[in-house]
Amino acid sequence: MIATIQSPMRFTKFAGFDANGDVFGNNDRVGIEPRNTFIGDNFRSVDFRLGRSFPFKERRSLEVLAEAFNLFNTTNIRFFNTVYGASDFCPFDPTAFGCPATPSTFREGSPNPNYGSPRAVFNPRQIQLALRFNF
């Protein structure tokens, strides 16, 4: 059995456009927010292997294997959508570029409804069975 427990990954909150006018819009952070302030979720997974060998003759045997990965089928999120959609946080600066005229009810007041949602997840439970003939 292998149990893996990992602390949350951290991500950077991006504006989603060229907020500072330097021609590179993919790396502009929201306001004066430092890097890696978006905290993801913990990673938890249990992998299990069970096997049995049945000998036939002196040098021959049949091995039966059963393996399960992410045995408890825990949803582990790999990446989040970290595009905020405005140049500054709208609740603190409602006049910032990209902020809607009316306050948003999305996470942290983001104009992007997908901000903070999972973008990719790790594999769900996987089970495999095998027979191996050794000679």
CA-CA distances (angstroms) from residue 110 to 24, 40, 41, 65, 114? 21, 17, 20, 49, 9
Q: What is the pLDDT of residues 101-132, one digit of tens each?
A: 888 889 888 999 999 999 999 999 999 999 99
**pLDDT at residue 31, rounded to an integer:** 87
CA-CA distances (angstroms) from residue 29 to 66, 95, 111? 47, 17, 15
Q: What is the pLDDT of residues 21-35, one digit of tens each?
A: 888 878 889 988 899
